[in-house]
Amino acid sequence: MAATAILLALAAVPPLCAALAQPYYLTLFARVMILGLAAMGLNLVLGFGGLVSFGHAMYIGVGAYAVGILDAHGVTGGLFHLAAALAAGAALACFVGTVCLLTRGIAFIMITLAFAQMVFFLAVGLKEYGGDDGLSISARSAFGPLHLDDPTILYYAIFAVLLLTLLAGHRLVHSRFGMVLRGAKLNERRMAALGFPVRRYQLTAYVISALVCVLSGFLLANLTRFVSPAYMQWQVSGELIVMAVLGGTATVLGPLVGAAILLLIEEALAAFAMGLPVGVEEFVRDHRLGALGLLIVLAAVGMRRGVYGALAPSAH
């Protein structure tokens, strides 16, 4: 019931924005879905696989730069953008995942972070594509009769991708593959002793999770019509982890809920600061992330299964 209510609420955003003449919120909730999608991708290895990756933001960047670079060369076909993004993301994820899975624990975390930083500085060095200043996109990806230039159509395209990812994720984690992945999280040696190729399962999960983040980057580039190395900063990877933990790592939908909570609280604090006197407004703006951090700590301590896990205890 909770999942249905959340998805129906997201589906109702465009008509509500039109009725209230508030198009800004259409972009805000589109961003919630895109970052929620990325957090869901990360959660496959984090929540169900027990592998803490601090570098998944680089896959958002790969998806975004595939759109930006091809657009800079006059290629506007959405299928070309998407194919290039997924191919580049899969190749990078296979290499990075293979190397990272040679380690465990803090070493795994640090290697994922190191790879992400290398890709980040590579993007900064691409001066012909904007370098540190980023790159504007002349037109959104073209999919024939599907015109993503219409904000409502773009919103529902993102919503459709989110729904398909949720369905695929639910089936995946409840399949034999998902059972092995969760079993390896609890006791990797036991699963290996039972004859399961644990590393192969974990690498496959890592690549799938990376491709979901690539897809979110592709959508983000189309939403903002801009790409930047900032999409790949380690802070973004940290935010994805926070979204997954805040919403509930033991659930498929939890990361989307975490993304909504994080972004909407940020928006509410910024709006609250605007109505205050100048000196107070600056203080609130400078310290609003501290207040947000406190709320996250309280939620994490009070709701061990995350907000969505607490609201829907039977959800997986």
pTM of this structure: 0.93
Q: Are 226 and 67 in contact (CB under 8 A)?
A: no
Contact indicator for 306, 251 with CB cutoff of 8 Å:
yes
H runs (alpha helix) in 174-253:
176-186, 188-193, 198-224, 234-247
Q: Where are the domains of the chain?
A: 25-231
pLDDT tens profile 277-302 = 666 566 666 666 666 777 777 776 76
What's the pLDDT score for residue 279? 62
pLDDT score recorded for residue 293: 73
> What letter does residue 249 receive in the DSSP assignment?
T
Instruction: Give the pLDDT confidence of 217-251 residue by residue, as tens digits.
Output: 999 999 999 999 999 999 999 999 999 999 988 89
pLDDT digits (tens, 9 = 90+) for 27-65: 999 999 999 999 999 999 999 999 999 999 999 999 999
Collapsed DSSP state (helix, strand, coil) of residue 199: helix
The rounded distance, in Å, linking the Cα atoms of 89 and 86 is: 5
Give the CA distances from residue 202 to residues 19, 93, 114, 310, in Å, rounded to whole numbers and listed in that order: 47, 12, 20, 28
